[in-house]
Structure 1
Amino acid sequence: MTLREAMAADAAAIADLLTASWQEAYRALLPRDLLHDRLPGLHSAMWRDHFAAPRPGIVLLAEGTDGLDGFCAAWLQGDEAYVDNLHLRPGLRGGGTGRVLLGHAVAALVARGAVRAALTIIEGNDGARRFYERLGGVAAEAHAAVLHGVPTRYRRIGWTDARVLVRACGVSVLE
């Protein structure tokens, strides 16, 4: 596996992987029409827009012999590393790629001043919640939200010390 920062030329591959990951992970949580009819266009536009005007942060790719295995997008918001996306190609969960991506992305933001880390999951995504809690994340109460016009519930997971998350991922923290 090779890690590298994403470039504008990667937008379509990131959007395709994100859509495939959502279709697998959220099939029991979100409506089929959203997952299969609307998401491909929404994700494509989202990543095209991101690379046209990037947010402060990092989009880190994991590439394997078959191409893009996963990506992690994390934004620097004040002193917080906000992990907006951590997605793997379907079939690759549980092999350590997500942990490596997450650790390196958050470490990059710690080097830029992040002290805390956080992310949000869709309520009912129990596998993701267990993954983040094993890495030291603390889940808040679920709250109502609207996702692409669909009422849903989110749960924020946070780390008061982003370095704890980086270390739990097996990545060194430069101090």
Structure 2
Amino acid sequence: MKHYQVQCKHLYFYFDDSEYGFMNIRPEDVVLVAQENGILGFIAVWYQDEPYIDNLHIKSSARSKKLGSVLMKSAAGRLIQQGQTTAYLWAAHDNERAIHFYERLGGVCTDRALQDYLGTMVPNVKIVWPDLSILNDIRL
């Protein structure tokens, strides 16, 4: 199993063809996991036409401790190293806490759409970082 450590205490980049091969994780994709006595959170960014932040999850006991900001900043740094300048994600329109969090990190709501989530059409908001350096430069 290959593990690449990001320069951040208890934050690791995981890339393992055998374990995650069904997801087709490629070298340009970014999966970061925060650990301290177990997994506290993770972020997954898939490179499509532009980087798509597919998942950011923080264990409830680890919320409000800047871990989400650390993961977002670290992912932005990796994307910038790859020459990327933008990224986006979709959030459920009623997830006001998440939307506010992303806006505090420089994300801009640009679009709304219904998207299929496990067979149910859910209203979502598209949040874009038109310049990843804004996210990379946040103070923690």
Say what the alpha-carbon RMSD is for the aligned residues: 2.0
User: Does residue 1:69 correspond to 2:40, yes or no?
Assistant: yes
* TM-score, L = length of structure 1: 0.67
- 1-structure distance, mates of 2:15, 2:135: 26
* C-alpha contact 2:113 2:123 (8 A) present in aligned 1: yes
- Between 1 and 2, higher relative CO (CA 8 Å, sep ≥ 6) is seen in 1
Structure 1 segments of 4+ aligned residues over 4 angstroms from their partners: none
* TM-score, L = length of structure 2: 0.83
Counterpart residue number, 1:94: 64
CA distance change for structure 1 residues 112 and 7 in 2, over 3 Å: closer, same or farther?
Answer: closer
- 1-structure distance, mates of 2:29, 2:121: 28
Identity of aligned residues (%): 32
Q: Which structure dedicates a bigger proportion of its chain to helix?
A: 1
Equivalent residues in 2 for 1:118-129, closer than 5 Å: 118-129=88-99
Counterpart residue number, 1:136: 106
User: Does residue 1:49 correspond to 2:22, yes or no?
Assistant: yes
For 1:2, which of 3, 7, 10 is the aligned residue?
A: 10
Q: Which structure dedicates a bigger proportion of its chain to strand?
A: 2
Counterpart residue number, 2:30: 58
User: Does residue 1:158 correspond to 2:128, yes or no?
Assistant: yes
* C-alpha contact 1:81 1:106 (8 A) present in aligned 2: no
Q: Which runs of 5+ in 1 are unaligned?
A: 12-46
The amino acid of 1:83's aligned partner reads I
SS in 1 for 2:30: strand
The amino acid of 1:5's aligned partner reads F
The amino acid of 2:48's aligned partner reads Q
